[in-house]
Amino acid sequence: MADKNDINSTEKLLNAIRGKQKEADDAVGKIEVLPSNKLPAQQKDKKISGIFPDKKIYTVGVDIGHDCIHLVKTIKASEDNPILVDQKNIEYDENLAKESPEFRSLLKASLLSICGNPANCNIWAMTAADEVNIQNVKVPPVQKKQMENAIYWAAKKELSFDEKDYIFDFELQEDIIDQGLPKRSVMVYTAPRAEVEKTRALYSGIGITLTGITLAPFVIQNIFRTNWMPANEGTTATLFIGNEFSRISIYSRNNLMMTRGIKTGTSSMLEAITEAFGEKRKIKLEKDDAKKILLGLVADAATARETEAGFGLKTQEIFNMIIPAIERLVRQMERTLQYYATSTGHEKVEKIYISSVMNIYKPIIDYISDQLGVKSEVFDPFQYQDTSQGAGSISLTDRMALVPALGLSFSGNQRTPNLIFTYKEENKEITLGWINRGIVAASLVAGVICILTIIYQGMNVIALSKQKETLKRELSVIYNPEISADKVTKMINDAKTQKQISRQYAQRYLGMAVIGEISALTPQNIKLINMTIISTRSTAVAVKTDKAAKESEGITLEGIITGERSMLDSYLAQYIMKLSNSPMLHKVSVYKNSIVAFKGNNVLQFTMSAKIEK
């Protein structure tokens, strides 16, 4: 670790980003940036940018400890396996409140230093798991539409929660046979809504939009599912020894099956050391002194000075002091493993991976392994990676502290339960996706129709253009007159002559046309005695005006109407109306009419005239 009295160039860069250089100078000794033991900044950026263009999306895991911010940055390889890009441990004063502007500035600067442009990164964080309930339930096979309801009510039966205060989500796992019946294994969990919103608000307050928020057991599950560690077909467990509590989680075929919090952590070990000193040496240790003694178990810790309380203590003596705390932890683990193997009917745990907020001393691992009868080893995923990526040169203490952030950087909605993207949000996204695909499909169909219409119209235009050109060529061959004033005058005279000839023909056959029209309109009870047609056939008629010519042409009719005497006048009126409606006659008028005797019957004799319409 760097000396806390020295401020390095990385921290100055962070302070410059915050714009609080004076506060940073005052905070020397409180905030420390641990070197990532990677390439120098300029060489690293050049190398990374050469391999990973800016358009690629990175995943950054952020784990906020009680005195350190752990950051890991990865990117997906061609086979969807993550590749480590960068990692950082940034220490700060444990008394610095998370809600303070100073901490928010440090968090933002830390994220910018590892992300560069946050828009190119999926950022995942972790929330406290104190009040989290995780359970594995079994549901019968039902239709997909009914599966969510079946899981919800199965979870309601196992877990007591109110959706107003807790977020509920689930993950479908494998098909199993339970008591001879096929069922589906489902992992269900609840988390306090207030804690999730608090974590979300912390990042949104510094302008960072989180991609996801998850829980510590799922972070370890990410590491197993990405095959960073050798595949293990059996059942494994992980033990994380924290400051105030520890957590044991059991995984079967890379799926979380059970997790349990244990109220024993490094604080219990510190209390054990304090009690041991009080009983044997009659010395009341301060918390910092007890912590220094406990760190004496760490292989890469500094040796105690003569003036310090732990000077001269051997590692075995320190270990003997904390055995009571470790024993309580082992008993809780033993009951948990026994319950898992017997009550739930699962396989026994074959291996335990152990990690802690500090470097686990090997005798602690050996002690736990001997007491439980299960092979145990330190949980160090970094040891399976190429040391050229920078992880191999970090101390084991720092590597263990980075494990949660590493698991967070492996997160994705396909493999990681997300507290801000539950099954409800996923259903909404699926529905929205179907709507968007429908809109796109409809737009494509409309576009295809428009394109086909344009092509069809274009082909018609081309065909009509060709037809037009063909007709033009034919007209140019058949008739291509040269227009002049004389030709126009001649054409007018020819038209007049043709019109005059047509009139003469019409005049010649006018009488026949009139006789045919009168015959068609005259009913059987009307007998025509005489018909006189007045026509202007002489050439002198041409001198008259059209109106005078029309007035001089007409017809005179004489005839009798037979039938009942009371109907004779009516028959005459009907006959006049028929003649008036004829397109050839107009101005029909009766000169005279009278009742006369004809062959012993009374008939109506009449004389009428009409003008011929031309």
Residue 313 covered by a domain = yes
Pair (377, 389) in one structural domain: no
Whether residue 46 is predicted with pLDDT greater than 70 in this model: the reply is no
The DSSP output letter for 7 is -
Task: Choose among 50, 58, 55, 54: nearest CA to 77.
Answer: 58
Residue 449 covered by a domain = no
Whether residue 550 is predicted with pLDDT greater than 80 in this model: the reply is no
| Domain region containing 521 | 515-612
* Token code pair at residue 242: 């924290």
Pair (533, 570) in one structural domain: yes
For residues 396 and 63, what is the distance between their CA atoms, to the nearest angstrom?
17
Provide the percentage of residues in the chain whose pLDDT is more than 70.
81
User: What is the pTM (predicted TM-score) of this model?
Assistant: 0.63
Residue 32 covered by a domain = yes
For residues 67 and 395, what is the distance between their CA atoms, to the nearest angstrom?
18
Q: Which of 197-206, 272-281, 344-353, 394-403 has the lowest mean pLDDT?
A: 272-281
CB-based contacts of 7, cutoff 8 Å, min separation 6: 24, 25, 28
Q: What order do you get walking across the sheet with 554-561 strand by strand?
A: 526-534, 554-561, 601-612, 585-598
Pair (212, 316) in one structural domain: no
Pair (51, 86) in one structural domain: yes
Highest mean pLDDT among 273-282, 372-381, 595-604: 372-381
Query: What's the whole-number mean pLDDT along residues 90-113?
Result: 92
Pair (223, 234) in one structural domain: no
For residues 209 and 201, what is the distance between their CA atoms, to the nearest angstrom?
9
Question: What pLDDT is recorded for position 1?
Answer: 36
Q: Which CATH number goes with the domain that contains 585? A: 3.30.70
Residue 490 covered by a domain = no
Provide the percentage of residues in the chain whose pLDDT is more than 90.
29
* Token code pair at residue 137: 């339930």
Task: Choose among 395, 216, 384: nearest CA to 295.
Answer: 395
Q: Which of 45-54, 361-370, 508-517 has the lowest mean pLDDT?
A: 45-54
Pair (531, 403) in one structural domain: no
Angle, alpha carbons 291-293-298 (nearest 5°): 90
Question: What pLDDT is recorded for position 297?
Answer: 74
Question: How many domains would you assign to the chain?
Answer: 3
Whether residue 244 is predicted with pLDDT greater than 60 in this model: the reply is yes
How many alpha carbons fall within 13 Å on the CB side of residue 31?
22
Whether residue 243 is predicted with pLDDT greater than 70 in this model: the reply is yes
Question: What pLDDT is recorded for position 411?
Answer: 93
Tens digits of residue pLDDT in 427-471: 888 888 899 999 999 999 999 999 999 999 999 999 999 999 888
Pair (246, 391) in one structural domain: no
Question: What pLDDT is recorded for position 551?
Answer: 54
Whether residue 493 is predicted with pLDDT greater than 60 in this model: the reply is yes
Whether residue 27 is predicted with pLDDT greater than 50 in this model: the reply is no
Pair (355, 258) in one structural domain: yes
pLDDT band, very low/low/confident/very high, at 308 (cuts 50, 70, 90) = low
Q: Which of 160-174, 392-406, 565-579 has the lowest mean pLDDT?
A: 392-406
Residue whose structure tokens are 């190119």: 120
CB-based contacts of 601, cutoff 8 Å, min separation 6: 562
Pair (6, 56) in one structural domain: yes
Question: What pLDDT is recorded for position 31?
Answer: 35
What residue type is assigned to position 159 of the chain? Answer: L
Question: What pLDDT is recorded for position 449?
Answer: 94
Question: What pLDDT is recorded for position 311?
Answer: 61
Following DSSP, what letter does each residue of 200-267 receive, concatenated? HHHHHTTT---SEEE-HHHHHHHHHHTT-S----SEEEEEEE-SS-EEEEEEETTEEEEEEEES-SHH
Q: Which CATH number goes with the domain that contains 344? A: 3.30.420.40
Residue 287 covered by a domain = yes
| More confident position, 371 or 176 | 371
Residue 442 covered by a domain = no
pLDDT band, very low/low/confident/very high, at 481 (cuts 50, 70, 90) = low
Strand, helix or coil for residue 414? coil
Pair (2, 82) in one structural domain: yes
Q: Is residue 330 a contact partner of residue 372, using CB atoms and an 8 Å limit? A: yes
Pair (27, 118) in one structural domain: yes
Tens digits of residue pLDDT in 67-85: 899 999 999 876 667 889 9
**Total H helices, total E strands in the chain:** 17, 18
Residue 137 covered by a domain = no
Pair (389, 414) in one structural domain: yes
Residue 501 covered by a domain = no
Whether residue 21 is predicted with pLDDT greater than 50 in this model: the reply is no
